[in-house]
Amino acid sequence: MKQTIHPPDHPSAHVRNGAAIAAPPPAPARDRRRPASEQWAAWAFLAPVTLYLALFYAYPLYRNLDLSLRDYTVRSFVQGNAPFTGIENYRTVFDDPTFAPALLHTVLFTGVCLLFQYAIGLALAVFFTQHFRLSATLRALFLVPWLLPLIVSASTWSWMLNSDSGIVNAALHALGIGPVNWLTSPSWSLTSVIIANIWIGVPFNLVVLYSGLQSIPASLYEAAALDGANAWQRFWRITFPLLRPVSAITLLLGLIYTLKVFDIIWIMTKGGPADSSTTFATWSYQLGFGNLLPAFGPGAAVGNLLVVAALVFGLIYLKVQRKQALS
C-alpha cells in the first residue's frame, strides 16, 4: 500500500532497527554521496514545510500542553498571567464524574465502529472483486458518504432519526415497532452516532481493502478451485490470511481516525443527553468551548490524553507499515 521513500539503493532502507527511516550517518565517501551544495538545495526546498510544521503543529501542541498545566481563564489570555498548577487540571479531569462514562463511550464508539466498518467494507470489497456489469460505477458511488462534508451527513442523519418525523421511526412503525427516541434518549444516543459514523467509514474500508484484494494473485484461487475448495473456504484460507497486512493498516488507520471523531457526535447530540454520548473528543471541546465559562485547562488536559492515545497507535501503525515495507 505504501512504498518507502527511499530509492532502492539507499543504505538505510534495509536497516531493521527503530531508526530505520532516519537518514544514515555520514558514510565513507562513495560516488553516490551527494555534494554539500546538494544538501543545501534539499533543505532549501524543505525549509517552508519545516517552518510550517514547527509553527502550526509543534507550537499548538506545546500551547496545549502549557494550557493543561496552568490555570487559564479568558482574562489570562489577554493579560498573560496564568499560575502554573502542574497536574492539577489532570487531577480535576480524573476526578470528574464524566471521566468514566467518557472513557467507556470512547472505547465503545471506537470499537463498535471499527468492527462494523471493517466487516461491511470487507464484505463489499469481496463482492466488488467479482466481474459484473456496472461494478466499477457502483463502487465509485460508494465513495459518496466519505466525500460529503460531515455536517451534511450529520444533519441528514439527525433528521432521519428524528423521533416524530424521521423516516427511520416511520419505517419501524410500518414494521409494528414503537417510536425510538434515537437522539433524545440517553439509552439510544450513542447507538445513533455509531450508526452514522459506520455509514461514513465504510467507503474508506471498502476502497483500501478492495485495492488490497487486487494484489492477491488469481492463480491461487484457480488452484484452490481445482482442489475443490468452495467459496467460503477460499475466503477463509486465502483471502483473509493474505489480506492480513492490508487489514492491519486499515484497522490501525481507522482506529486513529475514530478516536478523533468529533464533528458527527457534536452536531448530532452535542455529547448528550446528559453526557450519554460524550467521548473524550466532545468532552474536551465541551470543557474548552461549550460553556459560558470556558475551562481551558481541563479541556486541554482531556485533549492531551487523546493525543497520547493517538500517538501510541500512530507509532504502532508506523511499526507495522515499516515491517511491511521491508518484507
Partner 1 sequence: MNRRTGRTWWKTALGLLLTALMLFPVYWMLNVSLTPDRDMRKSPPDLFPAHGTLDGYRTVLDEQLPYLGTSLVIGLGTVVLTVALSAPAGYALAKLRPRGGGILNFVLLAAQMIPGIIMAMGFYAIYLQLGLLQSVPGLIVADSTLAVPFGVLIFTAFMSGIPGELLQAARTDGAGALRTFWSVVLPMSRNAVVTVSLFAFLWSWSDFVFAGTLVNGGAHEPITLGIYHYIGNNNQEWNAIMATAVVASLPAAVILVLAQRYVAAGVTAGAVKD
Name which of residues 195 to 224 contact partner 1 (CB under 8 A).
Answer: 199, 202, 204, 207-208, 211
- Between 155 and 233, CB nearer to partner 1: 155
- 228-247: contacts with partner 1 (CB under 8 A): none
Long-range contacts of 99-103 (CB under 8 A, 24+ apart): 101/275, 101/276, 101/278, 102/275, 102/278, 102/279, 102/280, 102/283, 102/302, 103/280
Phi, psi of 84 (to 5 degrees): -75, 125
CA–CA separation, 131 and 141 (whole Å): 17
In whole angstroms, the minimum distance from the beta carbon of 188 to partner 1 comes to 18
In whole angstroms, the minimum distance from the beta carbon of 313 to partner 1 comes to 7
27 binds partner 1 (CB under 8 A): no
Phi, psi of 70 (to 5 degrees): -130, 170
122 binds partner 1 (CB under 8 A): no
CA–CA separation, 37 and 26 (whole Å): 15
In whole angstroms, the minimum distance from the beta carbon of 68 to partner 1 comes to 10
**Residue 87 contacts by C-beta under 8 Å, 6 or more apart in sequence?**
69
319 binds partner 1 (CB under 8 A): no
Phi, psi of 33 (to 5 degrees): -60, 135
Q: Choose the stretch contacting partner 1; rule: CB under 8 A; options: 95-103, 220-228, 235-243, 258-266.
A: 258-266
- All three cell numbers of 237, joined, read 484460507
In whole angstroms, the minimum distance from the beta carbon of 186 to partner 1 comes to 21
* Residue choice 14, 50, 87, 244 for contact with partner 1 (CB under 8 A): 50
In whole angstroms, the minimum distance from the beta carbon of 191 to partner 1 comes to 16
Phi, psi of 243 (to 5 degrees): -85, -5
* Residue choice 121, 271, 298, 303 for contact with partner 1 (CB under 8 A): 303
* Residue choice 14, 41, 237, 244 for contact with partner 1 (CB under 8 A): 41
* Residue choice 262, 273, 276, 325 for contact with partner 1 (CB under 8 A): 262
DSSP annotation of 17? S
* Residue choice 104, 225, 274, 311 for contact with partner 1 (CB under 8 A): 311
In whole angstroms, the minimum distance from the beta carbon of 51 to partner 1 comes to 9
In whole angstroms, the minimum distance from the beta carbon of 292 to partner 1 comes to 14
For residues 284 and 304, the answer to whether their CB atoms sit within 8 Å is: no
**Residue 116 contacts by C-beta under 8 Å, 6 or more apart in sequence?**
198
Q: How many residues lie near partner 1 (CB under 8 A)?
A: 107
The number of angstroms, rounded, from the C-alpha of 52 to the middle of its chain's C-alpha atoms is 23
- 133-192: contacts with partner 1 (CB under 8 A): 133-135, 138, 140-153, 155-160, 164-167, 170, 173-174
**Residue 211 contacts by C-beta under 8 Å, 6 or more apart in sequence?**
1, 246
3 binds partner 1 (CB under 8 A): yes
- 82-121: contacts with partner 1 (CB under 8 A): none
In whole angstroms, the minimum distance from the beta carbon of 63 to partner 1 comes to 5
- Between 239 and 282, CB nearer to partner 1: 282
- Between 190 and 253, CB nearer to partner 1: 253
Nearest Cα residue to 80 out of 88, 70, 90, 94: 70
